[in-house]
Structure 1
Amino acid sequence: MKTYNDVLKLLKQFGTYIHVGKRLYDMELAAIELDRLAKSGLIDRKTYATAKIILNHEHEEEQRHPLKLQQKNTFGGTK
């Protein structure tokens, strides 16, 4: 596991699909779900630690350099 998408794939293996709509919020929810998987004993400590490091890194990067792409909403405006 090396990327944010790898973390999302891990969560999908347990039936957790995340799409809040804002990348930063998606990462925060992914971190919460990882915590729950670890507390339930469904993932080992190494997998948990690796995924948390990836999420923390991506979260920091997103806060420093948010995506500047404007997305069209369903009404034709921008978010």
Structure 2
Amino acid sequence: MKTVYDVMQLLKRFGIYIYTKDRLADLEMMEDEIKELYKMQMIEAKDFQIAILIVRQEQNKYKR
């Protein structure tokens, strides 16, 4: 995983589609969903860490 698109593809594997026309809201929802998948042990720790890092980096771009 290297991009937000890759994170979206990870979520799609679990039937999770996120699009609200508000990029920042989308990123926040993605972060929440990633955390839930990790809590339910559906994704590995490495994938969780990388996905959260990518989403947070993208959030920082939009908050500036």
TM over 0.5: yes
1:56 matched to 2:56: yes
Larger radius of gyration: 1
Where in structure 2 are there 5+ consecutive unaligned residues? none
Number of matched pairs = 64
| Corresponding position of 1:29 | 29
Task: Name which structure has the greater RCO, CA cutoff 8 Å, separation 6+.
Answer: 2
| Corresponding position of 1:44 | 44
User: Which structure has the highest helix share of the two?
Assistant: 2
Counterparts of 1:40 and 1:21 in 2: how far apart (Å)?
28
Counterparts of 2:63 and 2:16 in 1: how far apart (Å)?
24
Tell me which amino acid in the other structure corresponds to 2:27. M
Tell me which amino acid in the other structure corresponds to 2:19. H
TM-score (ref. length: structure 1): 0.79
- For the aligned residues, what is the CA RMSD? 0.5
Counterparts of 2:41 and 2:20 in 1: how far apart (Å)?
26
State the 4+ residue runs in structure 1 displaced beyond 3 angstroms.
none
Give the % identical residues: 39
